[in-house]
Amino acid sequence: MSSQQTIMEEMKKSRTNLDERNVRGKKSLLTAYLLWFIGGWFGLHHMYLNRDDHAFIYIISFGAYFGCGWFRDIWKLPEYVRDANDDQEYLKQLVQEIKTNEQPPNSWARSSGYLIIGDILGYLIVYSLPNELLPDTVRVPLIAFLVPLSVAIGVHLVGNVGRQEGQLRYALFGAYITTPLYYWNEQSVFFTTLSSFLAFNKWGKKWRRRYQPPKSFSHRFFTFSLALLLYFSLWSSWLYFNCTLTDREGQQIKCREAARHFLNSPFWKEFKSVMHDLYQYYRFHGLSGIWSELISSFDPTGEFGALKVLGLNETASQDEITATYRRLSRTWHPDRHRDPKAKEEAAEKFMEIQAAYEILSKNKHTRMKKNKISHPEPTHGTPWFKNDL
């Protein structure tokens, strides 16, 4: 039997009822691309393809280093879908690659992933340990122990994506040999990541030849949620204990104190008031009413701006507008001013008043109709202003 057939038999040996998988279990390339477009930065397409570890990497690295991996998946998705569907042609190509390379070859994408994810998780430990609660005699040993562990987990996570796998012990070995560095400088995470990556890449990584049966949704959901909870709890620890802001005088303020002051600031109170009014307006007028109000706030007819020039509100009658216009025209007529500078200023103001009145004259009938609806005239009979006694 040839070596190629031996590898193929080894890969198929652990498969259970592979040929009996129904068509509904097959992954769609169109669906994968749709999820890539909608939530690719959060790894939705990888979760769809049962690549949860890959999806987790996307979440903690903002789309695989700020969208680089997301963009790369444009041409990698067909391969991932074929892998998820156990495409026979894909498996033959994989067997040929395994035959050619005893150990998975290096790639710039995975090598970058080792270093990026290891650094992210390592520095997260450094930043999340509360400085105000831990003295240096406790903090430094904790960093020296936890940072290599976190880095090794990150390296191992990247090394077990797709058709590659490896043992955690090699990543741990490479990470922990750099422990003494943290008693000198706690910002030594990069050297720990590099050492862990080199050790894992040299001795730990290998081809994933054994078939992994798909896990239940509940198991995947629990594991993924637990990992996200742990990750974001570390960021929460940093935000509460160690995050600081620098004001214009150079003084550092804790983010939690800045947040508390912000919630008591006039800006936040005004914002809450506006949102409350908006909600009340929505309750009575619905979305269409909010949309109409939004369009009106843009002043497409120029009426609100014109009224502001004349110093009037939107309920002003046409008589008030005419009277105000005549008064302001006399006040700001250029002939009433002798000083050249004052005369120039008056001319600009006079032209502004003329333009405002012209806009209001065009919209006179619409405005009069609106005011009539808003303030209806009293009907005959019982006066509308009569109080109930």
Decide which of 47 and 368 is more confident. 47
Query: Based on the domain organization, do 187 and 52 belong to the same domain?
Result: yes
191-209 pLDDT, tens digit each: 999 999 999 999 999 998 8
Q: Is residue 93 part of a domain?
A: yes
Q: What is the mean pLDDT of residues 11-37?
A: 70
Give per-residue burial for 262-271: e unless 16+ CB within 10 Å, then b: eeeeeeeeee
The pLDDT score that the predictor gives to residue 288 is 85
Instruction: Tell whether the model's pLDDT for residue 95 goes beyond 80.
Output: yes
Decide which of 304 and 40 is more confident. 40
Residue 214 token pair: 């798909």
307-327 pLDDT, tens digit each: 889 998 878 888 889 999 999
Residue 344 token pair: 């120039």
pLDDT band at residue 142 under the 50/70/90 scheme: very high
Q: Is residue 275 part of a domain?
A: no
Residue 155 token pair: 């390296």
Query: Based on the domain organization, do 218 and 334 belong to the same domain?
Result: no
Q: Is residue 292 part of a domain?
A: no
Q: Which has the closest alpha carbon to 87: 141, 139, 21?
A: 21
Query: Based on the domain organization, do 231 and 317 belong to the same domain?
Result: no
Rounded alpha-carbon distances, angstroms, from residue 208 to 11, 15, 360, 374: 9, 13, 77, 75
Q: Is residue 111 part of a domain?
A: yes
CA distance 47 to 44: 5
Number of domains present in the structure of the chain: 2
Asked if 322 contacts 361 with a C-beta cutoff of 8 angstroms, the reply is no
Tell the burial category of 365 from Cβ atoms under 10 Å away from its Cβ (0-12, 13-18, 19+): exposed
The top-scoring range by mean pLDDT among 172-176, 255-259, 276-280 is: 172-176
- Write the CB contacts of 18 (distance below 8 Å, at least 6 apart in sequence): 12, 86, 211
Asked if 134 contacts 220 with a C-beta cutoff of 8 angstroms, the reply is no
Query: Based on the domain organization, do 227 and 326 belong to the same domain?
Result: no
Helices of type H across the chain:
3-13, 29-39, 44-48, 52-60, 68-84, 88-100, 108-128, 136-159, 168-176, 189-199, 217-237, 255-263, 266-297, 303-310, 318-331, 340-362, 364-374
The pLDDT > 90 percentage for the chain reads 58
Query: Based on the domain organization, do 344 and 218 belong to the same domain?
Result: no
Question: Among all chains, which residue has been given the structure tokens 């991996």?
Answer: 69
Query: Based on the domain organization, do 233 and 319 belong to the same domain?
Result: no
Query: Based on the domain organization, do 74 and 199 belong to the same domain?
Result: yes
DSSP of 40-99: GGGTHHHHHTT-HHHHHHHHHTIIIIITHHHHHHHHHHHHHHHHHTT-HHHHHHHHHHHH
Domain CATH code at residue 345: 1.10.287.110
pLDDT band at residue 303 under the 50/70/90 scheme: confident
The pLDDT score that the predictor gives to residue 21 is 45
The domain boundary, picked from 242, 258, 292, lies at 242
Asked if 192 contacts 175 with a C-beta cutoff of 8 angstroms, the reply is yes
The domain boundary, picked from 201, 224, 242, lies at 242
Query: Based on the domain organization, do 77 and 154 belong to the same domain?
Result: yes
Instruction: Tell whether the model's pLDDT for residue 14 goes beyond 90.
Output: no
CB atoms within 10 A of CB 194: 19
Residue 253 DSSP code:
E
Q: Which has the closest alpha carbon to 77: 42, 20, 29?
A: 29
User: What is the H or E stretch that residue 25 is in?
Assistant: none
The domain boundary, picked from 201, 221, 242, lies at 242
Query: Based on the domain organization, do 229 and 312 belong to the same domain?
Result: no
Q: Which domain holds residue 313?
A: 300-374
The pLDDT > 70 percentage for the chain reads 86
Rounded alpha-carbon distances, angstroms, from residue 95 to 74, 82, 106, 244, 295: 24, 14, 17, 53, 63
Q: What is the mean pLDDT of residues 267-289?
A: 87
Give per-residue burial for 303-328: e unless 16+ CB within 10 Å, then b: beebbebbebeeebeeeebeebbeeb
Query: Based on the domain organization, do 369 and 224 belong to the same domain?
Result: no
**Whole-structure pTM value:** 0.71
Residue 379 token pair: 């009907």
